[in-house]
């Protein structure tokens, strides 16, 4: 599918894709890390039945969107506002999973007049969150990457670029590598052939140019986000699988305690990829 290309005030291009009901309620879907606008979404018929006009875009450096060097998490709010203005949208909701979660919270904090609901599934909390052990319960590979980002930006960039090239050669390689650290419930989710095909297409598009988007996400998560989650004014729906080790459940607990109008749903037995199953419910709530 060919994206709509939207120009930003600083001259960058953002690749935008819309799905579902063109006259439905507008909901932005912010992809995970790594990811793209072609990431997991409910079927078009489901979106039509929900009355949702779904808007996805490649974050800077992913897919067909230009890189924004040194971007903070907060930068997502500016890009979302730019796209909303281009599409003629007034108020809208924002939904995200995994690495998209912090960016959705940025929209809720920095666009209070535009964003009325935020749903963040298996999100990370701020790296400098007070009274949170950010790495507690996190899988070893994520700890390794985020620790490396703290110490040496050039080294983590080289590591991620090499990993991305391997994934481009064989998109199934990322899923195969993940399986070693997945919970039994997550293994069951990604064993579905349709889910695997969708994830592989997502990763292939994510690295269409290079791995800059993935690198910049990791760097953004491990530095100041550029806003406070306490400033999220929108009603916020948080979901987390209790067995998640990629984004540990303590992160959503911390977010729920610090976002003024947040509701947290913890699902026993579910883990990180369980968020794919919950996405339809999150979109239904966001469009409500």
Digit-coded pLDDT (tens) for 111-162? 999 999 999 999 999 999 999 999 999 999 999 999 999 998 888 999 999 9
Domain positions in the chain are: 4-286
Pairing of strands 92-97, 25-30: parallel
Provide the sign of the torsion angle of the four alpha carbons 108, 114, 117, 118, taken in this order.
Answer: negative
Cβ-in-10-Å burial (0-12, 13-18, 19+) of 170 comes to exposed
Measured from the Cβ of residue 243, the count of other Cβ atoms closer than 10 Å reads 19
pLDDT-derived band at 234, boundaries 50, 70, 90: very high
pLDDT at 171 > cutoff 70: no
Cα distance between residue 69 and residue 72, in whole Å? 9
pLDDT-derived band at 193, boundaries 50, 70, 90: confident
Indicate the pTM of the whole model.
0.95
pLDDT-derived band at 74, boundaries 50, 70, 90: very high
Partnered with residue 144 across adjacent β-strands are none
Q: Where do the H-state alpha helices sit in 56-99?
A: 75-87
- Quote the percentage of the chain above a pLDDT of 90: 83
Domain 4-286: CATH superfamily is Alpha/Beta hydrolase fold, catalytic domain (3.40.50.1820)
């Amino acid at each position: 599918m060919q994206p709509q290309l939207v120009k930003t005030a600083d001259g960058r291009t953002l690749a935008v894709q819309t799905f579902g009901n063109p006259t439905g309620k507008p909901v932005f879907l912010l992809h995970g890390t790594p990811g793209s606008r072609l990431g997991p979404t409910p079927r078009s018929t489901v979106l039509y039945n929900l009355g949702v006009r779904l808007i996805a875009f490649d974050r800077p450096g992913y897919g067909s969107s230009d890189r924004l060097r040194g971007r903070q998490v907060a930068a997502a709010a500016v890009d979302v506002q730019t796209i909303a203005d281009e599409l003629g949208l007034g108020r809208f909701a924002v939904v995200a999973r995994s690495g998209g979660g912090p960016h959705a919270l940025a929209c809720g904090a920095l666009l209070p007049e535009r964003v009325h609901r935020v749903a963040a599934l298996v999100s990370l909390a701020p790296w400098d969150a007070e009274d949170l052990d950010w790495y507690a319960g996190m899988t070893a590979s994520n700890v390794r990457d985020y620790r490396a980002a703290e110490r040496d930006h050039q080294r983590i960039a080289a590591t991620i670029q090499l990993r991305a090239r391997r994934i481009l050669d064989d998109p199934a390689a990322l899923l195969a590598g993940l399986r070693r650290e997945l919970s039994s419930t997550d293994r069951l989710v990604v064993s579905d052939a349709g889910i695997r095909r969708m994830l592989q297409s997502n990763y292939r598009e994510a690295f269409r140019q290079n791995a800059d988007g993935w690198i910049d996400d990791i760097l953004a998560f491990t530095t100041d986000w550029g806003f406070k989650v306490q400033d999220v004014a929108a009603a916020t729906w948080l979901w987390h699988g209790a067995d998640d080790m990629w984004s540990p459940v303590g992160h959503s607990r911390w977010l729920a305690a610090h976002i003024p109008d947040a509701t947290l749903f913890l699902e026993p037995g579910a883990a990180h990829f369980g968020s794919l199953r919950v996405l339809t419910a999150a979109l239904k709530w966001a469009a409500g």
